[in-house]
Chain A
Amino acid sequence: MKILSPIDKAEEAAPLAEAGADELYGGYVSRRWAKKFSLMGSPNHRYFPNAQVSALSDLKKIIRGARAGGARFFLAMNAPYYSQGQYALLLDDADDALSAGADAIIAADLGLILRLRERFPKLEVHLSTLGAVFNSMTPKFFRKLDVSRFVLPRELTVSESAEIIGNNPGSSFDAFIFIGKCPNVESFCGFTHNNPNLVWPCEEEYEIRAVRGDDRAKEIIEAQSGWSRINRRQACGLCAVKGLLDAGVYSLKIVGRGGPMAMKVGSVRAVKDALALILSGASEKELAEFSRKKYRETFGADCNPYVCYFPSDCNWARSISAAPNFIRS
């Protein structure tokens, strides 16, 4: 099982590889793209500068660094869709990245995948989580386009993931494991993510009232309000590593493009340690104890259902009351 980590800067490559990342991914907004479309027209679904490589020379350094550390590099080009005027430049930027040694492109838009296939017939294309693989039939649609690696959505249970993987032999699947949970389904979310404070509409505070309701309205409002009281970035699925390994997940994906290097490296180490624990023969109970301890060390708080990647699989989450009384840290 591989570990797939975000990377934003060349100096991160060596520490990430050393910590245990087998694969790295990042976003690149060329100067010509930024000038024409601005970062709000980002080609890779991240709309803030820290999450972008902005010079081709830097992208080349990242790829060289990844290679030196024995890791592969994937370029994210996973905007939900593009305008007709964007495709030509997108393909030119892909060409530059591939010439620099990028191993694959992570894409979501059907138009881009079709054009990548035309221009780079042998290119390894991964379907982004925005491709919405929620069932065993969806990969069959993309297999016809020679896409054989899929990033599963954040909202699948371990058993649903296992069912999809089992029904699609010959394909590889990535599962999210650490950092960056989304309250909403990213594939279908129409919110913008460009607030300079990096607080997105799914987590900001609202004045919520029931314009129509029954006796459950208060608890529904409370459940929805929980997202503004927690830090959804502090997400974790380490307890599920054994289940995901058994399910046949190919790579464990860490979120966090644009985050500090220390957090990226710490995340890779946490996932690497959890994986090593299971491979050494530890029980799921031992893994759960390790995971909760690791969570506390990393984030300075206890985990809870809102930040759990697999809340319906977690026996411990079931045993506690969520009592969403969390403080954003």
Chain B
Amino acid sequence: MKGNRKLYLAYYAQSVAAIKRAAASIAEINWVCDSVQPSPAGRSRFPLYRTGERVIRKNNPIRIYFGAEFCQWRLPSPKALFNALAAAKKIGSPFTLLTPWVTDAGIDKLRKLFSVLKDEAPDSEVVINDLGALVLLRDEFPGLAPSLGRVLIRQRRCPRVPAMMDNLPSEGREIYMRTGAEDPLSARLMRRYGIRRVELDYPLQGLETDLGAAKLKASLYTPYAFVTLTRHCPASFDGRTWQAFNRSGCKIKGCVKNILELRNSAHEAPLLMRGNAQFVASRAASGQGPALPDGIDRIVFMEDAP
């Protein structure tokens, strides 16, 4: 689809300060969107798709994504969430809380955060990356709108995939191009849990998802596609074990200050590792991608590897 698609924008803020800075960033995104053209190299940190699709910005404030998708120890405190909500409100942005996969200790943390959300911004979205968290949300916070996160939505995101696509039979290719979100039977069950939206990546080999039968809307993250995550977080390794396993939390601070690049000649692109998760920079984000699949109505921009 080209031309008249409505694409809404979201900004992936990695701190309360980032939300406060968002006004300037949003102005930059605005420039890209209003130009309806690929951004000139070096002109913008937010290269947009080259499809010429119309991006809705006027009267639709950019949504703020905030929280943690990959590690429960990176979840904000209730106070930080409160501050983030206040900062988003100040710039008139709707709010989406990102949540990760969780142990029982993480369920306790989520319950506190959902309470803040329910009290302070009951029309917020919650990106869910754990089915136990989805049960918690439906049972105890039914007013909050869940979206299935990209950790739970299965996609083949490995940087080795592009090199093997030519060796696959046509019907075998499909599994590598599509997502686990499209099945109408699963989507029907998920609707009972309030799921109307899914969060997707644009893998290096491309994306041909069709969410029509599942009656789902989708957000597409750019430019960093999630590849894998670990509980053996190298930043939490203390020489004997990994503190990420501690029930009381990881005491090693500053894991996100380090971003590693992992290069291997067999991979189409290097992996980037921050904290416990690995990513590849999506080709679509460089302005080389084809038109976006139907069902995608939101672009989530990341300034940095999350």
Provide the residues of chain B in CB contact with A85, threshold 8 Å.
Answer: 171, 174
* A214 sits at the interface (CB 8 A): yes
Contact between chains at B258 and A214 (CB < 8 Å)? yes
Provide the residues of chain A in CB contact with B157, threshold 8 Å.
Answer: 190
Contact between chains at A190 and B259 (CB < 8 Å)? no
Contact between chains at A83 and B175 (CB < 8 Å)? yes
Contact between chains at A201 and B235 (CB < 8 Å)? no
* A84 sits at the interface (CB 8 A): yes
**Which of A80, A114, A135, A224 contacts B154 (CB under 8 A)?**
A80
Contact between chains at B240 and A317 (CB < 8 Å)? yes
Pick from B40-48, B178-186, B293-301 the stretch touching chain A. B178-186
Contact between chains at A192 and B258 (CB < 8 Å)? no
Given A137-B107, A207-B263, are A188 and B171 neighbors across the interface (CB < 8 Å)? no
Nearest chain B CB to A147 CB, angstrom units: 12
Pick from A8-16, A67-75, A153-161, A289-297 the stretch touching chain B. A153-161
Provide the residues of chain B in CB contact with A155, threshold 8 Å.
Answer: 231-232, 245
Contact between chains at B107 and A135 (CB < 8 Å)? yes
* B80 sits at the interface (CB 8 A): no
Contact between chains at B107 and A188 (CB < 8 Å)? no
Contact with B along A6-30 (1 / 0, CB 8 A): 0000000000000000000000000
Given A81-B179, A322-B240, are A36 and B164 neighbors across the interface (CB < 8 Å)? no
Contact between chains at A305 and B241 (CB < 8 Å)? yes
* A327 sits at the interface (CB 8 A): no
Provide the residues of chain A in CB contact with B271, threshold 8 Å.
Answer: 206
Nearest chain B CB to A302 CB, angstrom units: 14
**Which of A84, A184, A320 contacts B183 (CB under 8 A)?**
A84
The 3 A-B pairs of least Cβ separation, nearest first, read: A137-B132, A81-B180, A312-B245
**Which of A109, A156, A190, A318 contacts B227 (CB under 8 A)?**
A190
Contact with B along A304-316 (1 / 0, CB 8 A): 0110000110100
Distance of A290 Cα from B282 Cα, bound (Å): 49
Within 8 A of B (CB), among A190-214: 190-192, 194-195, 201-202, 204-214
Pick from A53-61, A99-107, A170-178, A215-223 the stretch touching chain B. A215-223
Contact between chains at B239 and A224 (CB < 8 Å)? no
Contact between chains at A136 and B241 (CB < 8 Å)? no
Distance of A42 Cα from B160 Cα, bound (Å): 17
Residue of A nearest to B174 (CB): A83
Which residues of A come within 8 Å of B, CB atoms? 36-38, 40-41, 80-86, 109-111, 114-115, 132-138, 140-142, 155-157, 159-160, 163-164, 167, 183-185, 187-192, 194-195, 201-202, 204-214, 216-217, 219-221, 223-224, 305-306, 311-312, 314, 317-322
Which residues of B come within 8 Å of A, CB atoms? 101-104, 106-107, 130-136, 151-152, 154-161, 164, 167-169, 171-172, 174-176, 178-180, 182-183, 185-186, 189, 226-232, 234-235, 237, 239-242, 245-247, 254, 257-264, 266-267, 271-273
Provide the residues of chain B in CB contact with A114, threshold 8 Å.
Answer: 185-186, 189
Contact between chains at B260 and A190 (CB < 8 Å)? no
Distance of A42 Cα from B264 Cα, bound (Å): 25
Nearest chain A CB to B242 CB, angstrom units: 7
Contact between chains at A135 and B104 (CB < 8 Å)? yes
**Which of A156, A167, A202 contacts B103 (CB under 8 A)?**
A156
Provide the residues of chain A in CB contact with B164, threshold 8 Å.
Answer: 40, 192, 194
Provide the residues of chain A in CB contact with B106, threshold 8 Å.
Answer: 134-135
Distance of A217 Cα from B227 Cα, bound (Å): 21
Provide the residues of chain A in CB contact with B240, threshold 8 Å.
Answer: 305, 317-322
A-B interface pairs (CB < 8 A), number: 225
Max chain B CB contacts within 10 Å: which of A36, A184, A221?
A: A184
Contact between chains at A141 and B102 (CB < 8 Å)? no
A-B contact pairs, 29 of them (CB 8 A): A37-B171, A80-B154, A83-B174, A86-B175, A109-B186, A110-B183, A111-B185, A114-B185, A132-B101, A132-B130, A135-B130, A137-B131, A140-B135, A142-B131, A155-B232, A185-B230, A188-B151, A194-B160, A201-B160, A206-B271, A208-B263, A209-B261, A211-B259, A212-B257, A219-B237, A312-B245, A318-B240, A318-B241, A322-B240
Given A201-B158, A201-B160, are A41 and B168 neighbors across the interface (CB < 8 Å)? yes
Nearest chain A CB to B149 CB, angstrom units: 10
Nearest chain B CB to A217 CB, angstrom units: 5
Contact between chains at B261 and A211 (CB < 8 Å)? yes
Contact between chains at A312 and B246 (CB < 8 Å)? yes
**Which of A164, A206, A221, A322 contacts B264 (CB under 8 A)?**
A206
Distance of A37 Cα from B241 Cα, bound (Å): 41
Nearest chain A CB to B134 CB, angstrom units: 7
Distance of A83 Cα from B156 Cα, bound (Å): 12
**Which of B182, B231, B241, B259 contacts A317 (CB under 8 A)?**
B241
Given A84-B182, A224-B273, are A157 and B132 neighbors across the interface (CB < 8 Å)? no
Contact between chains at A134 and B185 (CB < 8 Å)? no
Contact between chains at A322 and B257 (CB < 8 Å)? no
Provide the residues of chain B in CB contact with A134, threshold 8 Å.
Answer: 101-103, 106, 130, 132
Given A157-B247, A190-B227, A211-B272, are A183 and B154 neighbors across the interface (CB < 8 Å)? no
Nearest chain B CB to A67 CB, angstrom units: 33
Nearest chain B CB to A319 CB, angstrom units: 8
Contact between chains at A207 and B264 (CB < 8 Å)? yes
Contact between chains at A312 and B241 (CB < 8 Å)? yes
